Structure 1
């Protein structure tokens, strides 16, 4: 653990005007407050705040942030208070410490919403003072560096949280070095065998080829000297997790994986960057499709650099990044560049872009989200994806995540434009709304008054903004129907246990579930977000048997695929929706035919609302997945040789059985087919669809439900 003298000396290197007395006072206060406390490693607890302060000092941050690091656990873990800190160190420091404390002490309603709520509050706190998250990230980094002293279960939980939230957050804020280290430590905890395997392969590669990094570095230096460019050249191996992720994404083994080496050229000017790029491309062959110019088109967090991949020495692909010194400082420190000091003065880097605007927009967009898990999904989509740049007809640039569609483009302009979208033109040509946009394309949105978002749009879009707007519109449009359907579900569920779905009972259940009113409860029942069993369990938990459904334990016979049927009743899947395990189901008693089992979103149910007394609340048992269930999918594929065989192979690899294939449309360049599959459950079907969607010759895969499950079929 560094002494206060050593910490002060570290800060004085970049900020000679630092308030030495304030740093020493915070050091003494924190040490006294944590006196007698130990970490899991057995070290004095105060060693942790000191290490966090050192991490922030290495990023040249201001005194208030360093002091916050030294005190960040005092309110949480000691007898200190906000008022005491405010009196001793001022309001700025007290507010920062309080912000970090609130992030740590989140009281959450359930395990399912914990991560989403944590992320929501992280972003809200960040929008108030960005230094809170700088301290939090440094706090998490040091905790991850010492994670081996925790019990294994806690290590896994912390590593997963870090991989899902803190690592991508650090990356989005431009602190790439921190992201890589957080990912690598988490990877070591979550998949130690895979990480060891990659490390062993690196050792083997060096034995076979020698250490290529110094040799390629020398090649680049000589090349730059010949063209008169003064630059610093650095080389490194990619991190194990980065390599593992590429192996998973590309489906390649380590030996065939390219660009596992990365090199940086740091020049003195933008002009020298392009001179260096030309020299590199003259010397080595550039890999097509692997060139990105983030100098002319910077990322939203201010990142600027030229990226290119070339076939270098020994035909090994290497990635080269070219940037100026100032660009490199922003690339290394990201948002911390806004608070950095140099020789006692705040250093203004012309390339630093304040990401507070992005954070504020993100927080505003999702702060009122109904479902915290939707919020987490949207934020992850915003944070993990690279961007493409498209143009409006007037030439305005619209930034979108990679894979975005014209619908995403429309919603990025304005919600009203997205809601009323009926078509799109890309570079003057009419295209389907599911088309994936590429850099530099010009997009024109075709609108129509009275148009409303379609349910299928949600599967087409990738941006959180578009998904939220579509779901909100669909929710408003279908709310009345959901409430009516939910009322019948509530009535049937409560009548089965001899109770009435009175207004008071519904209000009580809504209050217990933390919902604003009974209508919201009924709407969620109708939308399958809450089940009849949830309602009964909330009001009358003593009437719920061990299977989790109202009634008698005998109904939960593990050998029966469906529970909820009466004595002598038999069930059969409805052909209109082909329900499979994993979907919520409703039974309809049909005279002479037993009980037809429908998925909750089956259109047929809407036509049977007046016959609700015949509705039966059903559920799948775990044994349901032991037998095959029929599901139909439609695939749009390229009309090339070998595609059909590859589709059959992909389905077979997922251990699904093909019971029928029918071609519904054949064109010179593509054809559509309907494939009837036998699958175990929804997860099994999803795995099949994912495997097919990953194939480059398959442009679209969707499940056929309701009326769409009966296309006009042409045998070929």
Structure 2
């Protein structure tokens, strides 16, 4: 529909006291009894405006459209949220789908409601290259809206929950797409924000939509639990209750029922049968204070023996979403484990409602452990990475990484606690502390022991990062980091370094090319240089230099175009051009070393200009060089600089006696000459002799010669040859 000009909401939309209130609105009235009467009147006003705006619109189920936003408001009312959130929920589709404007909403219900509605408004009108890109951009915009007001995500999750409850009206492909999106994005967001009740229902509805038969089978088996299990539950509950009462504790004891989705997930991820998953009893003990939690833990451990290594204290160290509880696993009387969670009423409320608990439970809502402040920190971290990412798809990838439900809890040298996703490495920790520390990291000390940056961390470790000013990110780092922040920072720094290297190398290449033509970049008139940049559509000289280094422009051709305009240089002079570029080896962004011949400093080398990759360096005796001579315009005369830096890969074929311990002897000999081993592979092997390929790192030909001499001294070695 075409939006109307900004105007106040018409008076005709008011509902008189005599008007009948439909059943779906009566449900909302009953759910909002916690609000004062004047606020409930405002809610009725919002309904009348929404009903008038959506008049004539129907859902796929055949119901009037207004039933959907009211149902969304009911979901939120069950969380006991504030009046502004409920009004925005009722009106959340009006800006997009009706003639009502943002200005009209702001004038009638206030600026906050208008902002919430705008934040929730869908983004289907934007044009993207693919469905995945559209979903990624929508998520990015939603995160930005969440940063302004967390209530946006409350409405969005309630909207998705009601859509999932009524998903049956959608056609098959749309149903599957929405269900998968719910399981991949919305349920994990709900979990990340501590809203476990909504998360559990989203997961179960998504599972039901994707695999209806599997869901039905599991649900039936849960319902028809054997009598023996029901008796076991009653017996365990009675023993726990008896001891808790005797200890003088005020408590609530509830049995935990597994959902079809959680059972299915455990069966899939852990390879267990239905019986194995169900053969675990679960209880929740809810007490008055944090001190009572630890008292109740002692009581539970006195009833049944605890399982070693399965106790987790999320009260002292809360999860990233604000969740607090004590978890323990006990040996049950029937040989089955008993999972017990112990928490206070406030902790239970936050565990169920997460950020929504802020409005329902006023005490402690602004503390450092509150779900809301933690949610703000998480979103702030995502937005920081979003500013550095170039695409929505990369942002989506980072969000999915950060939605891992399992975390490790680590200590800084000062004793502060940091939480990171499962499988995080020491390098992830470095970037979590600060981007600059990550960029300069060289190693880490875990509990005082020096370890490589790729070392995976486990809860309770104390981490200290070792840095060096000369260190910089490497492409290989992307292979083992687990967090979106680390991945984004590494990519951004690599792009920056590559661009700087490319500009410097491009300068050297164009300078050499111009020298051969009797001129230089400094002697060219500025007007000519500017005119060429305009002709070639480069905003700055640096962009041209980078393109030359990356092989997208040939330096000789650019030099000729510039010099001919200046003084008419003959082509035969260009043909004699044989500029030599000297390389240090640290121009890794624009210079790569060929795997076919693995050149190292000291080798006689040549360069081949490859579009998009820059210069690929080969040894002059490489078998591929003959092919490169067919494209002389791409051939570059290059040589090593006097000062060369870095380590270079080289492969050795070593023939040794085939008996135990030989491999260790060779590896030790290589290590004694300060060379790293990247890989080992058996090429040939018989009963007496084995040929092994060692991929190692050396600094130059002299270093390689030292390695080969040291290996040849071993009595078990028959021969060494560079491959």
Does the 8 A contact of 2:27 with 2:74 survive in 1?
no
- Equivalent in the alignment of 1:352: 370
Aligned-pair CA distance for 1:524: 10
Q: 1:673 to 1:272 in 2, by over 3 A?
A: same
Selected match of 2:469 from 449, 460, 466:
449
Aligned-pair CA distance for 1:149: 1.0
What is the rounded CA distance, in whole Å, between the counterparts of 1:161 and 1:216 in structure 2?
A: 39
Correspondence list, 1:306-385, <5 A? 306-340=326-360, 348=365, 352-353=370-371, 354=373, 355-385=375-405
Aligned-pair CA distance for 1:297: 0.8
Q: 1:524 to 1:117 in 2, by over 3 A?
A: farther
What is the rounded CA distance, in whole Å, between the counterparts of 2:230 and 2:204 in structure 1?
A: 24
Selected match of 1:416 from 429, 436, 453:
436
What is the rounded CA distance, in whole Å, between the counterparts of 1:381 and 1:78 in structure 2?
A: 37
- Equivalent in the alignment of 1:699: none
Aligned-pair CA distance for 1:59: 0.7
Aligned-pair CA distance for 1:600: 9.3
When structure 1 is superposed on structure 2, of 203-212 and 131-140 the one drifting more is 203-212
Aligned-pair CA distance for 1:338: 2.2
Correspondence list, 1:79-90, <5 A? 79-90=99-110
What is the rounded CA distance, in whole Å, between the counterparts of 2:536 and 2:280 in structure 1?
A: 59
Correspondence list, 1:497-508, <5 A? none
Correspondence list, 1:661-672, <5 A? none
What is the rounded CA distance, in whole Å, between the counterparts of 2:275 and 2:666 in structure 1?
A: 42
When structure 1 is superposed on structure 2, of 189-198 and 224-233 the one drifting more is 189-198
Aligned-pair CA distance for 1:145: 0.7
Q: 1:260 to 1:182 in 2, by over 3 A?
A: farther
Deviation per CA, 1:61-90: give whole Å up to 9, x if none: 111111111111111111211122122222
Q: Does 1:295 align with 2:315?
A: yes
Does the 8 A contact of 2:324 with 2:343 survive in 1?
yes
Instruction: Describe the SS at the equivalent of 1:221.
Output: helix
- Equivalent in the alignment of 1:586: none
Deviation per CA, 1:647-672: give whole Å up to 9, x if none: xxxxxxxxxxxxxx9998699xxx99
Aligned-pair CA distance for 1:303: 1.4
Selected match of 2:413 from 359, 373, 393:
393
What is the rounded CA distance, in whole Å, between the counterparts of 1:75 and 1:266 in structure 2?
A: 44
Q: 1:452 to 1:349 in 2, by over 3 A?
A: closer
Aligned-pair CA distance for 1:154: 0.2
Deviation per CA, 1:90-146: give whole Å up to 9, x if none: 222111111111556554343332232222111101001111111111000000011
TM-score (norm: length of structure 1): 0.68
Aligned-pair CA distance for 1:256: 2.9
Selected match of 2:256 from 236, 241, 255:
236
Deviation per CA, 1:140-174: give whole Å up to 9, x if none: 00000111110010011111111111111111111
What is the rounded CA distance, in whole Å, between the counterparts of 1:705 and 1:195 in structure 2?
A: 51
Instruction: Describe the SS at the equivalent of 2:318.
Output: coil
Q: 1:333 to 1:94 in 2, by over 3 A?
A: same
Q: Does 1:141 align with 2:161?
A: yes
Does the 8 A contact of 2:597 with 2:618 survive in 1?
no
Does the 8 A contact of 2:305 with 2:331 survive in 1?
yes
Does the 8 A contact of 1:223 with 1:279 survive in 2?
yes
What is the rounded CA distance, in whole Å, between the counterparts of 2:278 and 2:83 in structure 1?
A: 44
Deviation per CA, 1:422-463: give whole Å up to 9, x if none: 112111111222222222222222222211112222222211
Q: Does 1:180 align with 2:200?
A: yes
- Equivalent in the alignment of 2:687: none
Correspondence list, 1:591-602, <5 A? none
Aligned-pair CA distance for 1:349: 7.7
Q: 1:341 to 1:247 in 2, by over 3 A?
A: closer
Q: 1:325 to 1:577 in 2, by over 3 A?
A: farther
Q: 1:209 to 1:5 in 2, by over 3 A?
A: closer
Q: Rg larger in 1 or in 2?
A: 2
- Equivalent in the alignment of 2:673: none
- Equivalent in the alignment of 2:584: none
What is the rounded CA distance, in whole Å, between the counterparts of 1:418 and 1:138 in structure 2?
A: 38
When structure 1 is superposed on structure 2, of 174-183 and 400-409 the one drifting more is 400-409
Does the 8 A contact of 2:120 with 2:142 survive in 1?
no
What is the rounded CA distance, in whole Å, between the counterparts of 2:431 and 2:50 in structure 1?
A: 49
What is the rounded CA distance, in whole Å, between the counterparts of 2:71 and 2:186 in structure 1?
A: 18
What is the rounded CA distance, in whole Å, between the counterparts of 2:275 and 2:324 in structure 1?
A: 31
- Equivalent in the alignment of 2:209: 189
Does the 8 A contact of 1:576 with 1:705 survive in 2?
no
Q: Does 1:118 align with 2:138?
A: yes
Correspondence list, 1:644-655, <5 A? none
- Equivalent in the alignment of 2:28: 7
Selected match of 2:44 from 14, 24, 31:
24
Does the 8 A contact of 1:576 with 1:706 survive in 2?
no
- Equivalent in the alignment of 1:623: none
Does the 8 A contact of 1:113 with 1:373 survive in 2?
yes
Q: Does 1:226 align with 2:246?
A: yes
Instruction: Describe the SS at the equivalent of 2:319.
Output: coil
Aligned-pair CA distance for 1:325: 0.6
What is the rounded CA distance, in whole Å, between the counterparts of 1:66 and 1:666 in structure 2?
A: 70
Does the 8 A contact of 2:678 with 2:697 survive in 1?
no
Q: Does 1:164 align with 2:184?
A: yes
What is the rounded CA distance, in whole Å, between the counterparts of 1:201 and 1:394 in structure 2?
A: 51
What is the rounded CA distance, in whole Å, between the counterparts of 2:498 and 2:131 in structure 1?
A: 29
What is the rounded CA distance, in whole Å, between the counterparts of 1:184 and 1:483 in structure 2?
A: 54
TM-score (norm: length of structure 2): 0.67
Aligned-pair CA distance for 1:602: 12
Does the 8 A contact of 1:11 with 1:18 survive in 2?
no
Instruction: Describe the SS at the equivalent of 1:473.
Output: helix
Q: 1:172 to 1:523 in 2, by over 3 A?
A: farther
- Equivalent in the alignment of 2:655: none
Deviation per CA, 1:282-306: give whole Å up to 9, x if none: 2223223321111111123221111
CA RMSD of aligned residues (A): 4.3
Structure 1, unpaired ranges of 5+: 487-501, 511-516, 527-573, 579-595, 616-660, 678-703
Selected match of 1:44 from 43, 60, 64:
64
Aligned-pair CA distance for 1:254: 2.7
Does the 8 A contact of 1:59 with 1:333 survive in 2?
yes
When structure 1 is superposed on structure 2, of 246-255 and 439-448 the one drifting more is 246-255
- Equivalent in the alignment of 1:437: 457
Deviation per CA, 1:39-72: give whole Å up to 9, x if none: 1111111111111111111111111111111111
When structure 1 is superposed on structure 2, of 37-46 and 352-361 the one drifting more is 352-361
Instruction: Describe the SS at the equivalent of 1:255.
Output: helix
Correspondence list, 1:459-474, <5 A? 459-474=479-494
Correspondence list, 1:546-565, <5 A? none
Q: 1:52 to 1:477 in 2, by over 3 A?
A: same
Instruction: Describe the SS at the equivalent of 1:322.
Output: strand
What is the rounded CA distance, in whole Å, between the counterparts of 1:445 and 1:155 in structure 2?
A: 48
Instruction: Describe the SS at the equivalent of 2:58.
Output: coil
What is the rounded CA distance, in whole Å, between the counterparts of 2:185 and 2:270 in structure 1?
A: 24
Structure 2, unpaired ranges of 5+: 1-21, 507-531, 553-593, 599-607, 633-662, 670-676, 684-693, 699-703, 719-723
Correspondence list, 1:619-638, <5 A? none
What is the rounded CA distance, in whole Å, between the counterparts of 1:505 and 1:172 in structure 2?
A: 52
- Equivalent in the alignment of 1:282: 302
Does the 8 A contact of 1:387 with 1:402 survive in 2?
yes
Aligned-pair CA distance for 1:476: 2.0
- Equivalent in the alignment of 2:324: 304
Does the 8 A contact of 1:137 with 1:170 survive in 2?
yes
